[in-house]
Structure 1
Amino acid sequence: MNSMFLLVLGNTEISLIPGISIAGATPELTKFTPPADAEYLFYEKPKIIDVIPVTPEGHPTPAIITKAAKELANFPILVVRAGTYLAPLIPHVHISNEVGKDFRGEPALPGISEIIERSKMLGMELDKLNVKELVIGESTPGGTTTAQAVLWALGYDARTSSASPSNPQELKERVILEGFKRAGINRGSLKDDPIRALMEFGDPTLAAILGLSLGFRGDIVLAGGTQMLAVAAVLKALGEDITRFMIATTRWVVEDKSATFVKTAKEIGIMTYSADLDFSKSKYKGLKDYENGYVKEGVGAGGATWLAVKAGYSPEDVFRKVEELYERLVKA
């Protein structure tokens, strides 16, 4: 296989705002989500915390989809710590300790240059390997809000998705507009200054994926939902050739009426792939509820499914493996 899967981990203080993220049972537990997601890909359960990340209602992390695809297709995974509260207890590449700030009170990433530069160096080293395609996923609680803020700053009338069936758009918009007021800008003010848009409103994951994309010159699959639209928009604003990029997501994101994934992807001009996963026949409510708008995407689930499909497996095979993994969790 000439593809490599990268999982980029990041935290932002935005996830601590009550109601804005359900990528953890409580806002405080979202600090553990990125390293726990990464660890679960390699172990039966995370090391850093004794349970896998779940929503407040108990729906399992989308890492279960990525793990299922990995167990089927056996693709290599490299974990990249872009900026988290805690390091994962597995081998990984360290980029930064810098957690994204709450952009309502200060710029999100004062150290953005270092994150981009180090990530670009990593991308350039990976470019020397016999790797034709990087598939880059992410785990970043609160990341849909930072992504929407960046897209708005660049002039896109975009709405990002949510791990909840009740997308907290009103809360997201209020938080973003408070950030815009602090920075003294309006929608579209930074369309010619995408790095400042990231610095003011982004998160470590967005900055690291940008750097990786600038350093690696082969094909890149941005494995994620509406967050990856922000990366694509910044790349386009910097004059990058968007034709070597594709966003791989899940049908749950594409069908999310509270978001603008398809519309915004067309505006940017980036190709998309939608993993046709279906959990409606699952024996487990935690998985079946994916069909009711919970979770949708994350930890590169769509991109991992893409790799499994390329290796000859079907989305149904991925679902059966997810069911098997969930059964193991329930028994454990």
Structure 2
Amino acid sequence: MFFLFIGASDICKVPGLSAAGANPQVVPFTAPADADLVCWGRPRVVDVVPVDPQGHPTPALVTRAARLESGFPYLAVRSGSYLPPACPFLDLGALPGGDPQEGPAVPEARGIFEAARELGGNLASLPGPFVLGESVPGGTTTALLVLRALGRPGMVSSAGPENPVPAKEQVWERASSRGGISFGGLGSDPLEAVRQLGDPMQAAVAGFVAGLPRTCEVVLAGGTQMVAVAAVLRHLGEDRPLVVATTRYVDQDPSAHFREMARDLEVEAYAAPLDFSACPFPGLADYERGFVKEGVGAGGSVWYAQRLGVSPQRVCARTEELYRLMTQGA
């Protein structure tokens, strides 16, 4: 089953960090709109499809296309989003994450983890695999902060062709100084790393996985954001097999270290071979230029579709068809 964990972090309000949403007023709707789109093909919580500041569509279109082509089951899990989606969802009762530069980002991280662990245990009898995606504006920055606190080297990706590395480094300096946290200083307490620096999705997905029996197949559907979740699990002592599934756009991002970080954590890396190079729509063709890259479990949805016998080429073709219908107002 495919689960989409939707969350939020006030770090997305820092100028220059998050490309999710064309303006700050739209950001609270981004994650719930993604959840709606995967469920129904159109957002209902808001009447527009989420786009980045340059107008490129959300990767939820890819996840929706993969779901339509393969028929995998889907459920949204609200784990700290600003607003609920309109589609059916489970609610962990989490609050949005705060700005780690100003104070602990997820004060109830341990409570979220335990609630999600109970949920995972309750759903363990569902047929696998368990493919866990995310939608968290600003989530690559919180991923970097948690990875640094755990002592994991490397740079996270971004949702644009220019990774705002200096801005992310500045957030690390401010947040780590605020909390008196050094590189690797919280390696023995990963939930404290999430509490101080992370976002509620990280606690939720880590808890959900911890609640599943080791026999359950788990795919963390996301790029470097899910690498951070994998790091939390490893530092909690979880040595179970894990796959982190992303897109080739993250895997080939020269500014990031997805493959190296996955190898360091001893998790299997998968990169969905999406290809929109011949797409007639600039909004999707620009994925080839480094825009958007990943999100809403796009890479993991392709992994799931392939498991069910659907080629990435079919997913790309269906994504283009969905985008055509969207832009034509059908």
**TM surpasses 0.5:** yes
Q: CA deviation at 1:242?
A: 3.6
Q: Which amino acid in structure 2 is aligned with residue 47 of structure 1?
A: R
Answer yes or no: is the 8 Å Cα contact 1:164–1:293 preserved in 2.
Answer: yes
Counting matched residue pairs gives 327
Residue of structure 2 in register with 1:168 after alignment: 164
Higher mean C-alpha deviation, range 20-29 or range 317-326: 20-29
Q: CA deviation at 1:44?
A: 3.5
Answer yes or no: is the 8 Å Cα contact 1:21–1:142 preserved in 2.
Answer: yes
Q: Which amino acid in structure 1 is aligned with residue 207 of structure 2?
A: G
Q: Which amino acid in structure 1 is aligned with residue 54 of structure 2?
A: E
Q: CA deviation at 1:195?
A: 1.1
Structure 2 matches for 1:17-36, cutoff 5 A?
Answer: 17-36=14-33
TM-score after normalising by structure 2: 0.97
Which residue, 218, 228, 231 being the options, matches 2:229?
231
CA distance in 2, matches of 1:132, 1:50: 33
Q: Which amino acid in structure 1 is aligned with residue 191 of structure 2?
A: I
Q: Which amino acid in structure 2 is aligned with residue 311 of structure 1?
A: L
CA distance in 1, matches of 2:42, 2:125: 33
CA distance in 2, matches of 1:283, 1:242: 43
Q: CA deviation at 1:313?
A: 1.4
Corresponding position: 1:137 with 2:133:
yes
Q: Which amino acid in structure 1 is aligned with residue 286 of structure 2?
A: D
Answer yes or no: is the 8 Å Cα contact 2:41–2:64 preserved in 1.
Answer: no
Q: CA deviation at 1:45?
A: 1.8
TM-score after normalising by structure 1: 0.97
Residue of structure 1 in register with 2:277 after alignment: 280
CA distance in 2, matches of 1:291, 1:331: 23
Q: CA deviation at 1:238?
A: 1.1
Answer yes or no: is the 8 Å Cα contact 2:102–2:178 preserved in 1.
Answer: yes
CA distance in 1, matches of 2:267, 2:24: 33
Which residue, 80, 83, 86 being the options, matches 2:80?
83
Answer yes or no: is the 8 Å Cα contact 2:101–2:175 preserved in 1.
Answer: yes
Structure 2 matches for 1:148-227, cutoff 5 A?
Answer: 148-217=144-213, 218-227=216-225
Q: Which amino acid in structure 1 is aligned with residue 200 of structure 2?
A: P
Q: Which amino acid in structure 2 is aligned with residue 136 of structure 1?
A: L
Residue of structure 1 in register with 2:62 after alignment: 65
SS at structure 1 position matched to 2:261: helix
SS at structure 2 position matched to 1:273: strand
CA distance in 2, matches of 1:41, 1:267: 32
Q: CA deviation at 1:177?
A: 1.1
CA distance in 2, matches of 1:113, 1:263: 29
SS at structure 2 position matched to 1:42: helix
Answer yes or no: is the 8 Å Cα contact 2:104–2:196 preserved in 1.
Answer: yes
Higher mean C-alpha deviation, range 99-108 or range 25-34: 25-34
Answer yes or no: is the 8 Å Cα contact 1:17–1:27 preserved in 2.
Answer: no
Answer yes or no: is the 8 Å Cα contact 1:135–1:303 preserved in 2.
Answer: yes
Query: Deviation per CA, 1:122-142, whole angstroms, max 9, x where unpaired?
Result: 10011133x232000000000
CA distance in 1, matches of 2:154, 2:208: 24
CA distance in 1, matches of 2:94, 2:304: 30
Q: CA deviation at 1:282?
A: 0.3
Which residue, 232, 237, 240 being the options, matches 2:238?
240
SS at structure 1 position matched to 2:185: coil
Residue of structure 2 in register with 1:116 after alignment: 113
Q: CA deviation at 1:287?
A: 0.2
- Structure 1: where are the runs of 5+ without partners? none
Query: Deviation per CA, 1:79-121, whole angstroms, max 9, x where unpaired?
Result: 0000111000111000024000000010011111221111111
- Structure 2: where are the runs of 5+ without partners? none
Answer yes or no: is the 8 Å Cα contact 1:16–1:28 preserved in 2.
Answer: no
Answer yes or no: is the 8 Å Cα contact 2:134–2:295 preserved in 1.
Answer: yes
Task: State the percentage of identical aligned residues.
Answer: 47
Residue of structure 2 in register with 1:55 after alignment: 52
Residue of structure 2 in register with 1:251 after alignment: 248
Q: Which amino acid in structure 1 is aligned with residue 122 of structure 2?
A: E
Query: Deviation per CA, 1:247-281, whole angstroms, max 9, x where unpaired?
Result: 01110000001111011111111111111010000
CA distance in 2, matches of 1:161, 1:142: 11
Corresponding position: 1:14 with 2:11:
yes
SS at structure 1 position matched to 2:278: coil
Q: CA deviation at 1:28?
A: 3.2
Q: Which amino acid in structure 1 is aligned with residue 87 of structure 2?
A: I
SS at structure 1 position matched to 2:26: helix
